[in-house]
Amino acid sequence: MAIVKTLNGISPEFGENCFLADNAVVVGDVVMGNDCSIWFGAVLRGDVHSIRMGNKVNVQDNATIHATYKKSPTSIGNNVSIAHNAVVHGCTIEDNVLIGIGAVILDDAVIEKNVIIAAGTVVTKGMRCTSGSIYAGVPAKKVKDMEPKHLEGEVNRIADSYLMYAGWYK
């Protein structure tokens, strides 16, 4: 059973049809929408600031979501995939976003809607990734415009697949 902890009198809140893997950890000031999935080894630590997630968000194996004490909360929109081993810290991620395997998103960064952050990319503190773009590299740089095939074939396909996978565990 997942570790779900109340901290300083604040308990995590979950929408309908959410899946938490057996060793997922969700602590404190975390609120998630419907159809979310938190996978094996993932940690959402709402101990020093809030974490807010929309609907149909998947946080894959060993990903970490955190914030900065009294300064930078974490906000995640709808239809977002945060891939294996990614770190999302004190930032804003809007709707229809794919954060690739091992990517790092740092404090006060903003990932606008309809964006792909490639595997291994580091989005530095305060950076803004503009809507309709694909970013890669260390530090992150725009590498191309997103096309409809990227939104359908990557962002939506992965989010939909993780909703299906979560159903296998229920």
Average pLDDT over residues 102-117: 98
Indicate if the alpha-carbon torsion angle 71, 133, 33, 121 is positive or negative. Answer: negative
Q: How does residue 36 score in pLDDT terms, banded at 50, 70 and 90? A: very high
Q: How does residue 12 score in pLDDT terms, banded at 50, 70 and 90? A: very high
CB 39 within 8 A of CB 58: yes
Q: How does residue 20 score in pLDDT terms, banded at 50, 70 and 90? A: very high
Q: Which domains are present in the chain? A: 3-168 (2.160.10.10)
Q: Look up the pTM and report it.
A: 0.97
Rounded to whole angstroms, how far apart are CA atoms 7 and 162?
A: 29
